[in-house]
Chain A
């Protein structure tokens, strides 16, 4: 009974617990600060020793992408893609290809490590500068992402209007790229009136209309029949021949094994293979 009513002991434990908590928090903060400092230091050392090649368009150094649910999509990726290259990104589903691609157009930020796009560190770049980074990148998707209420012409012009290109410059340039992708006679058709292959060609026209330095294509042939797929591939090859870098994630074994280019294979968040003129290497 006596012990039950004595409060002194309770206080003692309470004070002890509080100070423990405080120490833990302090140590935690200190640890976090050290970690941040270490990363910062690491980056500085890397940037100071970075080889002076200058024509690297995309560079990743020890890149990790960990999502908030704990999934480690990329685990220490090192890669560099140079000016005018054509690169296939291959690997099983869920291997980290999408995260890899998203880092390239700054849809995602790396959790750790450095991603340089045209010498801009995408992790450090200020929010208002991101659009300027993206203007140098054209992105093509599996599902085309065309605006259904706009004609082919309007869809392409939309990309120029968005970056406030003067009106008089829009028409000739849009017509030029639509001709390049072979759609100058279909420019007033709505996406619903175009075939899948034609829609993807509109999407490519939109991706190149602002003269990007590289094109990122996320399974551009994924929704197309073989014939249309080949048309799209010839088009991307043509664009690459004109000097634009192309990075393309794909599951299309036939294409990779026929149009031989550099192949980067990703498995479980790690680059397992990176070879010039490589093969697809999977059975799906």
Chain B
């Protein structure tokens, strides 16, 4: 396409938008609402896959050792566990470290409660071995294996339940519902856009008639409408991008406060997520816009 032609198409698209200000506004708003839903969906989807990866990385089985064991015996159990084919890594966490971590977790408020537990003898926590499986699928099998140790060596095995797994399962359902909802809204938004484009087509009826008569190519006639639709989609994606990022940023700061090492949920970093989410929302907006244009151009633009 020549630059002249492109400039012309852009100008036509702009004129179309200006001509039907209120319809354009309605269409853009519909796109915004749709994309906001998609934005929330994307935040969830990106975070769930991110968390799933993080969980895969950090998930561990805690093996509680009998405190009667000597240091050598503890070392022996550790080596045995390391020898298991399903084990990726195993580390011994002495009870002193565990207590320190526990204190850090409780922060200042925990100082009083734990005040009496500073001395070595009074530490109620057991020594533990943290075992990381090779594969998240072998998680259960490895847990069963570790439970076979006699009580003299191992007091208990804790794999943290299936909290992470059930969170992921539930979110799958939520995601599907949102996706369905979003799709219905996307269809509505596309129809609103197509309606706006239809108004432009009607307003430019005579121009189009002349263009056809003098032999303008079909694409020359269609382009401004596609640009108009895509622009509406693009305009509609601005506010959901901003809202999603701002909301995510505040949510992130709430759930993953800075300077606190232990968090309820480890979320995807804001910058990384913003990049993905804005890109996807923008693309979706443009696609919805072009989709709306196609509907109208096919139905109302006689070439």
Give the interface segment out of A10-18, A49-57, A162-170.
Answer: A162-170
- Determine whether B160 belongs to the interface, using a CB cutoff of 8 Å to chain A: no
Which residue in A135, A147, A166, A167 is a CB contact (below 8 Å) of B214?
A: A135
**A147-B206, A147-B207 in contact; A206/B214 too (CB < 8 A)?**
yes
Q: For B213, what are the chain A residues with a Cβ–Cβ distance below 8 Å?
A: 105, 134, 139, 145
Closest B residue by C-beta to A139:
B213
| A145–B217 CB distance below 8 A | no
- Determine whether B209 belongs to the interface, using a CB cutoff of 8 Å to chain A: yes
| A162–B211 CB distance below 8 A | yes
CB distance from A244 to the nearest CB of B (A): 15
Among B206, B209, B212, B213: residue with most chain A CB under 10 A: B213
- Determine whether B272 belongs to the interface, using a CB cutoff of 8 Å to chain A: no
- Determine whether A178 belongs to the interface, using a CB cutoff of 8 Å to chain B: no
Could you mark each residue 1-24 of chain B with 1 if its beta carbon is under 8 Å from any beta carbon of chain A, else 0? 010110010000000000000000
| A131–B217 CB distance below 8 A | yes
Q: For B91, what are the chain A residues with a Cβ–Cβ distance below 8 Å?
A: none
- Determine whether A132 belongs to the interface, using a CB cutoff of 8 Å to chain B: yes
| B4–A127 CB distance below 8 A | no
A24 to B207 CA separation, bound complex (whole angstroms) = 48
A131 to B208 CA separation, bound complex (whole angstroms) = 13
| B216–A131 CB distance below 8 A | yes
| A162–B214 CB distance below 8 A | yes
- Determine whether A159 belongs to the interface, using a CB cutoff of 8 Å to chain B: yes
A133 to B212 CA separation, bound complex (whole angstroms) = 11
- Determine whether B303 belongs to the interface, using a CB cutoff of 8 Å to chain A: yes
- Determine whether A238 belongs to the interface, using a CB cutoff of 8 Å to chain B: no
| A134–B210 CB distance below 8 A | no
**A127-B303, A167-B4 in contact; A162/B206 too (CB < 8 A)?**
no
Please classify how large the interface on chain B is, using the bins under 10, 10 to 19, 20 to 34, 35 or more: 10 to 19
| A158–B8 CB distance below 8 A | no
Q: For B303, what are the chain A residues with a Cβ–Cβ distance below 8 Å?
A: 127, 130
| B210–A159 CB distance below 8 A | yes
| B4–A134 CB distance below 8 A | no
A131 to B215 CA separation, bound complex (whole angstroms) = 4
- Determine whether A275 belongs to the interface, using a CB cutoff of 8 Å to chain B: no
- Determine whether B252 belongs to the interface, using a CB cutoff of 8 Å to chain A: no
A139 to B303 CA separation, bound complex (whole angstroms) = 17
A135 to B217 CA separation, bound complex (whole angstroms) = 10
CB distance from B155 to the nearest CB of A (A): 79
Q: For B2, what are the chain A residues with a Cβ–Cβ distance below 8 Å?
A: 164, 166
A179 to B225 CA separation, bound complex (whole angstroms) = 35
- Determine whether B220 belongs to the interface, using a CB cutoff of 8 Å to chain A: yes
Interface size on A, residues (CB 8 A): 25
Among A131, A134, A138: residue with most chain B CB under 10 A: A131
Q: For B8, what are the chain A residues with a Cβ–Cβ distance below 8 Å?
A: 161
CB distance from B224 to the nearest CB of A (A): 12
| A147–B4 CB distance below 8 A | no
A139 to B210 CA separation, bound complex (whole angstroms) = 9
| A132–B207 CB distance below 8 A | no
Q: For B5, what are the chain A residues with a Cβ–Cβ distance below 8 Å?
A: 164
Closest B residue by C-beta to A149:
B207
Q: For B4, what are the chain A residues with a Cβ–Cβ distance below 8 Å?
A: 161, 164, 166-167
**Cβ < 8 Å to B, chain A residues 156-209:** 158-159, 161-164, 166-167, 206
- Determine whether A128 belongs to the interface, using a CB cutoff of 8 Å to chain B: yes
Could you mark each residue 142-185 of chain B with 1 if its beta carbon is under 8 Å from any beta carbon of chain A, else 0? 00000000000000000000000000000000000000000000
- Determine whether B218 belongs to the interface, using a CB cutoff of 8 Å to chain A: yes
| A147–B217 CB distance below 8 A | no
Closest A residue by C-beta to B214:
A159
Q: For B207, what are the chain A residues with a Cβ–Cβ distance below 8 Å?
A: 147, 158
Closest B residue by C-beta to A159:
B214
- Determine whether A229 belongs to the interface, using a CB cutoff of 8 Å to chain B: no
**A164-B2, A164-B220, A167-B4 in contact; A134/B206 too (CB < 8 A)?**
no
| A162–B215 CB distance below 8 A | yes
| A134–B215 CB distance below 8 A | yes
CB distance from B303 to the nearest CB of A (A): 7
| B218–A128 CB distance below 8 A | yes
CB distance from A156 to the nearest CB of B (A): 10
| B206–A135 CB distance below 8 A | no
What are 13 A-to-B residue pairs whose CB atoms are below 8 Å? A105-B213, A127-B303, A130-B303, A131-B215, A132-B215, A145-B210, A147-B206, A158-B207, A158-B210, A159-B214, A162-B210, A162-B211, A167-B4
> B residues near A, CB below 8 A?
2, 4-5, 8, 206-207, 209-218, 220, 303
The 3 tightest CB contacts between A and B, nearest first, are A135-B215, A134-B215, A162-B216
Given contacts A130-B303, A132-B215, A164-B5, list 16 more A-B pairs with CB under 8 A: A128-B218, A134-B212, A134-B214, A135-B215, A137-B215, A138-B214, A139-B213, A158-B207, A159-B214, A161-B4, A162-B210, A162-B211, A162-B220, A163-B214, A164-B217, A206-B214
